[in-house]
Amino acid sequence: MKKILVIHGPNLNLLGEREPGVYGTDTYDSINNEIIEHAINRQFHCEVFQSNHEGEIIDTLHLARKSFDGVVINAGAYTHYSYAIRDAIAAIKIPVIEVHISNINARDEFRSRSVIAPVCVGSICGFGKDSYILAVDALYYRWENEEAAEA
């Protein structure tokens, strides 16, 4: 069974309360429950981690390389300026998919640039909480295609 880790960055623990016009009214817990349920339906083991601290996110990415087959990350504001998280993603050699609830390209100019996107296998944004679901599916299809190519 493939194992995936979902990492939520700063302020995402406040989903459901924080700027509902941008991030929706679904709570952090309800979104995580949906992600985990969807992962189980894809026959994945899924764990969730959230931190408001850059170093904890980096440490978790480092640990993920030994315990997980893939990562889905919403790095929040760190997306736009954390070269340290970018370097951690580049170093771990497992597929990482960047997600955002809002369309970062349609928001403030500073939000339209992702420094982590170039080291991720893909980026999904603008689909609300379903961005996470789409990322789980992207990992599923990536691995399914790899297995088919090996056969």
pLDDT band at 148 (very low <50, low <70, confident <90, very high): confident
DSSP H/E element including 65: helix 54-67
Strand partners, 124: 99
Query: Residue 19 corresponds to which tokens in the numbers above?
Result: 């700027």
Class of domain 2-150: alpha beta
- Catalytic amino acids? 23, 100
115 by DSSP, 3-state: which?
coil
For 71-89, the pLDDT digits (tens) are 999 999 999 999 999 999 9
